[in-house]
Structure 1
Amino acid sequence: MESLTVNVRDINIHLKRNHIGAEKKVVFLHGFTGSSSTWEEVVKYLPPTIEILTVDLIGHGQTSKPIDFTRYYVDEQIEDLHSLFQLLGWNHFTLVGYSMGGRLALAYADKYGVDKLVLESSSPGLVNEEERVRRKHADELLAERILNEGISAFIDFWENIPLFHSQKSLSFEKQQAIRLERLAGSELGLSNSLKGFSTGIQPSYWGKLKDIEISTILLTGELDQKFCDIAMNMKNVLPQVKHMQINNVGHAIHVENPELFATIVEDIILKED
């Protein structure tokens, strides 16, 4: 595994590469409060025939945390990723995004295209303007809470929201690993991520789904009803789509069952269309 930091568009992006030189390639984008480390268990189960790139998104992990929250807007992050892929010489790859990272993956694929798109527990955003305003306001309040109360108090709150209830059944060791990854986050980075990349700020992609002709796989956990419903609605619009609902897991499938998640992703990557 190679761990490195590269300068792209005046920010430093931290990334990890495994199985360098393999013909098939995959990129993994983590969710809010995560980092490239969230994929380590999944990476262990993927074969050396697939080169794997995991990226710390802006505001997370060891990647830069700019003071200006507008630098976190989705259009900026799309260009960051594209410049990174060009720098690495990656033109053909499967793009996998989880939750917040799935929103970014969808936005990237809409503009630049990818070979295949895998969206885990992801949404194209909010259509209703009132809903967008409410979400923007809620995320701004949460962003201020992080700055005022600190990362530890925020993580105490965050790990107990209903979205992650199913993770309470994980082993103590795994729960502690997740908590430590979250606690390694930055108050400024997470706060600005909420301000600049909230679903209340990011444009809705619902209207664009019908034009995304990329082979897309939607993965949701059966215990995460909200995102199962979103995926079913997306399935009705995307031209080339398959929805897989995974048993006995919630929002973070790759955390709750990394071996199964890796097997699914491997099958998707190696399957010839």
Structure 2
Amino acid sequence: MGLIAVNGVRLHVERGGDGPPLLLLHGFTGSAATWEPLLPALQAHFHTVAPDLIGHGRSDVPADPARYAMDRCVADLVALLDALDIDRAAVLGYSMGGRTALHLALAAPERVSALVLEGASPGIADPDERAARVASDAALADRIEREGLQAFVDAWERLPLFASQQRLPEATRARLRAQRLSHTPRGLANSLRGMGAGAMAPVHDRLGEIAVPVLLIAGELDGKYVEISRAMAGAMPQATVRIIPDAGHAPHLEQPEAFVEAVLGFLVEKRERPART
């Protein structure tokens, strides 16, 4: 679709399909292209709206890290919904996009009809652990700017979190690597500084405010996020957990058919059901 101006920046957005709106939020190093293999199935039921989040893909890359803060990103998404005349949407978010979806639902609950959170967390509750993560992300951001994207992506792909992705078909891994290399060093660095897991405010004590239906998805091989998803579900009034077998941190990539089945089974069932108040 192209660029849409919101709050002084431009977000690249891809749209398609008919039906109720479904906002798709990618993870760190991703873009709207993350969802391309899933779009035929999703767009058979929904009108999908897939932005490149700030600093990613073809969206703007501001110089000020403060412009990437989670509250600013959420405000951009609300403005995007306004620009597209969308009153309320279901939101599917992966990893960083899942954290963003969670914050959107808390900041503007009237704009969210349902949530699907894949490999997402409510932040880092322990102050010391959060400070350590801020320092770690700042060091990584500096390294991205100093050493460039290829060195960063080489190291990123070797993280244990993504070990299961080594089993993906060569063409899928090549497409994923190209997506990771499509950004700018400044965009990824400032995304880490502004809306990394340490930089965002933890929301564990606010999960009970989420009144809409929520589906939490985690890969069976991603033990940390299986535990996080189950803990989050226990704190939400209308949440269920789906564990995708033989998948790690990115079930949408590693087991796309099972992922789509889980998402559509949840959203098609829930979309007409009013949220509890």
Give the TM-score band, short-chain normalised.
Answer: over 0.9
Does structure 1 retain, via aligned residues, the 8 Å contact 2:119–2:217? yes
Which among 36, 41, 50 is matched to residue 40 of structure 1?
Answer: 36
> 1:47: how far off?
4.4
The one-letter amino acid paired with 1:164 is F
Aligned mates of 1:238, 1:49 — CA distance in 2: 26
Which among 9, 27, 33 is matched to residue 7 of structure 2?
Answer: 9
> 1:240: how far off?
0.8
Alignment of 1:22-171 (within 5 A): 22-113=18-109, 114-171=112-169
Aligned mates of 2:22, 2:161 — CA distance in 1: 27
Q: How many residues align?
A: 269
Does structure 1 retain, via aligned residues, the 8 Å contact 2:207–2:236? yes
The one-letter amino acid paired with 2:127 is E
Runs of 5+ consecutive residues of structure 2 not aligned to the other structure: none
Aligned mates of 1:188, 1:109 — CA distance in 2: 28
Q: CA RMSD in A?
A: 1.0
Cα gap change, 1:188/1:267 in structure 2, threshold over 3 Å: closer, same or farther?
same
SS for the counterpart of 2:42 is coil
Aligned mates of 1:201, 1:27 — CA distance in 2: 23
The one-letter amino acid paired with 1:139 is D
SS for the counterpart of 2:248 is coil
> 1:23: how far off?
2.9
1:172-229 CA distance string (max 9 Å, x none): 1111110011011110000000001111111001010012111111000000001001
Runs of 5+ consecutive residues of structure 1 not aligned to the other structure: none
Aligned mates of 2:45, 2:198 — CA distance in 1: 39
The alignment-based identity, stated in percent, is 38
Does structure 2 retain, via aligned residues, the 8 Å contact 1:140–1:194? yes
Aligned mates of 1:26, 1:84 — CA distance in 2: 13
Cα gap change, 1:85/1:146 in structure 2, threshold over 3 Å: closer, same or farther?
same
Task: Give the alignment's TM-score, normalised by structure 2.
Answer: 0.95
The one-letter amino acid paired with 2:100 is L
1:223-262 CA distance string (max 9 Å, x none): 0001001111111111110001010001011111222222
Runs of 4+ in 1 over 4 A off after TM superposition: none
Task: Give the alignment's TM-score, normalised by structure 1.
Answer: 0.96
